[in-house]
Amino acid sequence: MNKLFKSHLGSDYMFKHEWHKLLQNYGLILVLVMIALIPAIYCWLYLSSMWDTYGKLDDIPVAVVNHDQLQHYRGKTIRIGHNLVQALKKSDSLAYHAVSAARAKRGLDDGHYYMIVTIPKSFSKDATTLLSAQPKKLQLHYRLNSGRNFIVSKMTNGAATAIQSKVAAQVTKMYAGVLLTTVQKVGTGLTTAGQGSTRLAAGATQLQAGASKLTQGSAQLSTGLKTLQTAVPNSPSTQPLQQGLSRLAVGNQQLTHGLQAESQGLTAIQSGSQQSAQQLTASAQKLATIHHQAINADALANPVAAVKTDEATVPNNGTGMAPFAIAIGLFVGGIAVGTMFDAYTPSERPRHWFPWWSAKFSVVGIVGVLQASGLYLVLRQVIGLTTQSNAQLYGLLVVGALTFLALIFALRILLGGFGTWLVTIVLVLQLSASAGLYPVQLTSSFASQLNPYLPMTYLIDGLRHAISLGGSIQFDVVIMGGVMVLACGLVAVKFMINVHTDKFGFLDGQDLEATTHE
């Protein structure tokens, strides 16, 4: 019991001795404080340089060359190229400048312009052929220089798509107006045709009535002829009269048949005219329900309105990039601490592993907390980062800093010089496979398979929840905490073995005992 008490007193002395030695080294304290600011400085410089890049797209210069010539189409003046240039000048998507072809080419070559939009001479003319027998598509020519800036080329590609949609809507609106006007005229013609069919049916009715009267008269005539033939005696002197009466009867019979056929035809005409009048009137009424104002042409040209809902709105590019930048800053800061602070060599021969470990790693822990605190203040007060939870953000910064420091010092203490080299490899792997910039689905097969085994993956995911997504970060904290405990545990085992074997050096063979004897 007394021996254990003395061991505890010795251990407490060693902890105090380590801190006393550190506090006497003002240069090292200054270095550690400066190192603690590295994550904050890195994130401030990195994020502030790209904080609102998409909000400054109207500063990207684009040349517009207009060769289009106006056209006259169905009584209207068509100047699609001119209208497009005016619309682009008013647009805030990019900085459009109407220039000559020669100036545009020089500007693209020397980097003054990032894209050239050329409107050909036949642009408006081709727009008037879309309803002809040989329609021609309107062509817009784009020239980019992706080698000068790949990201800007992607932005200008998006602008090119928007310009194409704008022109398509303008042309569609023009043709929609023409078609609606034509529909209106057709409707008026159908109304007139329907009225004419109604009048034709009325006329056919009147003709049929007259034909009926003629039929009745013909019947009466036939009766009279029969009576007259009966009354005329059959003698040679009356034979010519009898023959004339017979021919008259035959002609009257043919007239009767003709009148019957005419009556049937008039009945068919009357029925068809009535049906045509009803159909034409109904069609005209349907066409009358189609409005042909400018607002209808515009609706036909742009019939779809996208309704977008963002479950977690990100206000700017810097906020979206913050999780990745924070993770990199903390790991780089951890490497700096690992380079400048010796968390292994004891100031005197330790009697127990725990005071040795606690003396060294208490310094590392405090530096980690300082890193997280300085970074938090810069993010919130200097950069102006908005979050879903400030508490989650600060907690993740602390856990992330301590996890990276534990991992870095574990590699250096356990593996010596090779571990120092391995720290750099771990950084490179995390930069490429932690899904900080692109979704894991867009990365290589190797990166996607490595992703779940990297602590930076979970720090970035947790930071996204704390900054933009909201929700629980428990899983990410548990994973990082497990990595931190494992790293610290391995270092503690290393210290225990060194105390037991009375060896306190790195893998190069140098140890405290040998140094003391010299």
Question: Please, are residues 323 and 460 in contact by the beta-carbon 8 Å criterion?
Answer: yes
Task: Provide the terminal-to-terminal Cα distance of the chain, rounded to the nearest Å.
Answer: 36
pLDDT digits (tens, 9 = 90+) for 123-132: 888 877 766 7
- When pLDDT is cut at 50, 70 and 90, the band that residue 39 belongs to is very high
Which tens digit of pLDDT belongs to each residue from 418-453? 999 999 999 999 999 998 888 888 888 999 999 999
Alpha helices in 347-473 (DSSP H): 353-377, 390-415, 417-433, 445-450, 455-464
Closest CA to 408 of 491, 466, 309, 509: 491
Q: Which two tokens stand for residue 489?
A: 């545990």
- pTM > 0.85: yes or no: no
Give percent of the chain above pLDDT 70.
66
Dist. CA 378–CA 372, nearest whole Å? 10
Q: Is the pLDDT of residue 27 over 90?
A: no
Q: Mean pLDDT across the stretch 451-466?
A: 95
- E-strand ranges in 34-140 read 61-66, 71-73, 76-78, 95-98, 115-119
What is the average per-residue pLDDT within 364-385? 94
The rounded distance, in Å, linking the Cα atoms of 195 and 278 is: 9
Contact 88, 139 (CB under 8 A): no
Give CA angle at 322 (155, 319), nearest 5°: 60
In CATH, the architecture of 59-145 is 3-Layer(aba) Sandwich (3.40)
Helix (H, G, I), strand (E, B) or coil at 268: helix
| Selection from 376, 301, 250 nearest residue 80 by Cα | 301
What kind and span of H or E run contains 197? Answer: helix 150-231
Give the pLDDT score at 163.
75
Distances (CA, A) of 68 to 77, 107, 131, 174, 215: 13, 21, 20, 17, 74
Mean pLDDT comparison of 245-254, 338-347, 381-390, highest-scoring range: 381-390
- β-pair partners for 141: 118
- What is the reported pLDDT for 179? 55
pLDDT of residue 392: 95
What CA–CA distance (Å, rounded) separates 329 from 44?
10
The pLDDT tens digits for 203-234 are: 556 666 666 666 666 666 667 656 766 666 66
Reported as a single tens digit per residue, the pLDDT across 41-99 is 999 998 888 888 777 777 888 899 999 888 887 777 888 888 888 888 888 778 889 99
What is the three-class DSSP state of 302? Answer: coil
CA–CA gap between residue 402 and residue 476 (Å, rounded): 14
What are the residue ranges of helices labelled H in 239-316?
239-288, 294-301
| Pair of tokens at residue 180 | 């609606």
Rounded to 5°, the CA angle 65-71-75 comes to 145
Say if residue 517's pLDDT is above 50. Answer: no
User: How sure is the predictor about 482, in pLDDT bands with cuts at 50, 70 and 90?
Assistant: very high
The C-alpha atoms of residue 177 and residue 29 are separated, in whole angstroms, by 78
pLDDT value at position 513?
A: 47
Residue 98 main-chain phi, psi, to 5 deg: -80, 115
The two tokens of residue 373 are: 């605190």
pLDDT digits (tens, 9 = 90+) for 273-294: 556 655 656 655 555 555 555 6
- The CA-CA-CA angle for residues 8, 11, 17, to 5°, reads 145
Query: Residue 88 corresponds to which tokens in the numbers above?
Result: 């682009």
Which of these, 506, 504, 486, lies nearest to 495 by C-alpha position?
Answer: 504
| Residue 10 in this model has a pLDDT that exceeds 60 | no
Distance CA 211, CA 213 (A): 5
Q: Which of 95, 98, 94, 93 is nearest to 81 (CA)?
A: 98
Strand duo 61-66 + 95-98: pairing: parallel
Question: For the segment 307-348, what is each residue's pLDDT rounded down to a tens digit?
Answer: 667 678 888 888 989 999 999 999 999 999 988 888 888 877
Q: Which pLDDT belongs to residue 342?
A: 85
Collapsing DSSP states into helix, strand and coil, what is residue 8?
helix
